[in-house]
Amino acid sequence: MASLSRQLASWVAGLRYEDLPSEVVDRGKGVTLHGLASVLLGSQTAPGRNAIKLITEEEAGAGNGATVMVDGARVTKGGAAFTNSEMAYAGGKWDTFRMLTHPGTSIIPGAFVAAETAGTSGRDYITAVAAAYEVMERMAADFIPTVMARGFHASPVFGIFGPAIAAAKILRFNEDQVNSTIALCASLASGNLEGARSGGRALREGAAVRNAMLAVALARQGHVGGETVLEGDAGFYHAYAGNNKGLLTYSFVGDTRASLDRITAGLGKDWIFLETLYRIYSTAGYNLAHIDVTAGLCEEHDIKYEDVDRVEAVVNWLETQYPSPAFTSRREDLNTSPGSTAYHTAYGVVKRGFPMLRGWEAATASADDPPEVLELMKRVTLIPSHTMTLFGPRITIFLKNGKSHTRQSTGREFIWDFDEEARRIRGVTPGLPIPAAQFESMIATCRDLDRQDRADTLVRLTLKSQKRDR
């Protein structure tokens, strides 16, 4: 049987736009818009500004490269990928796959660097993005908790493969070149948990996408990566998951065994990409449903803060032990402070939503927090369960009159089509560094991306007006 990387490479190299189901095309447009909105927001944060300053100073004068979004500077391809990814991460409007990976923060920047370099069409861009998400998420799916338990951060570890696949596809790599790109990513993958646990700031998707551009460049030059680099005895899964047999330390639903064969099963027929959800609020993904489910309950039954005695939420157990049960830095079931799940649940009750422009790193009380939220969060209880789906809490609001109301989340409330994404992401418009009309042009271009001659039209639409004509 062909190696795992060879099977993936063969599928990627042969994938055509015509092979994509309409919902996959729609999702490709949606994740693009979501990622660009996050870049725009992140450009105004301290980490985003620092990334721009670092790369533009380090790579001043680079001519044959790519564009730093929003700023407009030309730097190397790796520098642009790093900076744009850092801004996407800082912006907090990420997409999420199975809680602990955020594909768009690396795939979208990498895809646009390649699209700008190659002058690729919107159709080819969408095809590449779909391939990138599908490969990255299939590789990560069953292994995320186990990789985290070994001290690696799953998002950048798997995140290098997505942008590398996108760029390789856009640059029209053949099967051998894609195979080498995947193999080289295994050598360049990295991401560690300890820095963030000990007072530092993790180096995450920015580094992953920069290394992805290196893997692509090496493969383009003819560097052969190897055949069994993923599943071999000394390969990627042995190194990052502890074995190449599919044995798991942890899993979301209690399974202790996965199958490497499942990574390629049904490729092109069963699209795991469609499981990707949108973090419309800048908070940990597992808090999303707590906000909207409690808000929905309150709207349905006309529940007011004054009516509530307490709230209970039965949740997937891994959502209470971030980033991993092996290295827990945040126990949500024991935490009722600002920024916690209890806090966001209380927000859903009191305000029936959460501020769209609240930064994702806000872990302390804000002067804008209603006192009712800060009081009610102390009466929210989380109950961990090994049988609950990810991002699918069962929430019960107990009223002071003795009645109660329960709603079971499906875990899919934040999976929607492009039109709904456009409707909801417009909430960030007041906080963007570009005019509202320009953002509307970006939305319209994303909606019609498969009819655009050049995908990098969207890069130009991120630029501040005074720099767009450079």
pLDDT digits (tens, 9 = 90+) for 226-254: 999 999 999 999 999 999 999 999 988 77
pLDDT at 362 over 60: no
As a whole number, mean pLDDT of residues 34-55 equals 96
Contact assessment for residue 407 and residue 305, using Cβ atoms and an 8 Å cutoff? no
CA angle in degrees (0–180, nearest 5) for 248-250-255: 70
- pLDDT tier for residue 465 given thresholds of 50, 70 and 90: low
* Residue 157: closest CA among 113, 107, 101: 101
Please state, for a pLDDT cut of 70, what percent of the chain lies above it: 97
pLDDT at res. 93: 95
Lowest mean pLDDT among 65-74, 185-194, 356-365, 388-397: 356-365
Tell me: the pLDDT tens digits for 58-115?
A: 987 777 799 999 999 999 999 999 999 999 999 999 999 999 999 999 999 999 999 9
pLDDT at res. 253: 79
pLDDT at res. 21: 98
pLDDT at res. 359: 78
pLDDT at res. 320: 95
Q: Does domain 285-408 have CATH number 3.30.1330?
A: yes
As a whole number, mean pLDDT of residues 402-431 equals 96
pLDDT at res. 4: 98
- pLDDT tier for residue 255 given thresholds of 50, 70 and 90: confident
pLDDT at res. 361: 61
pLDDT at res. 211: 97
Query: What is the CATH class of 4-278?
Result: mainly alpha
Report the chain's mean pLDDT, rounded to a whole number: 94
User: What is the phi-psi region of residue 170: left when phi exceeds 0, alpha when psi lies from -120 to 50, beta otherwise?
Assistant: alpha
Lowest mean pLDDT among 55-69, 118-132, 154-168, 288-302: 55-69
d(CA 206, CA 209): 5
Q: 359 or 399, which is more confident?
A: 399
pLDDT at res. 364: 54
pLDDT at res. 219: 98
pLDDT at 202 over 60: yes
Q: Which two tokens stand for residue 447?
A: 């909606």
As a whole number, mean pLDDT of residues 131-158 equals 97
Tell me: the pLDDT tens digits for 263-320?
A: 999 999 999 999 999 999 999 999 999 999 999 999 999 999 999 999 999 999 999 9
pLDDT at res. 358: 87
pLDDT at res. 61: 74
d(CA 177, CA 264): 19
Q: Where exactly are the structural domains of the chain?
A: 4-278, 285-408
pLDDT at res. 62: 77
pLDDT at 422 over 90: yes
HSE toward the beta carbon, residue 452, CA cutoff 13 A: 24
As a whole number, mean pLDDT of residues 448-466 equals 93
pLDDT at 470 over 70: no
Contact assessment for residue 180 and residue 164, using Cβ atoms and an 8 Å cutoff? no
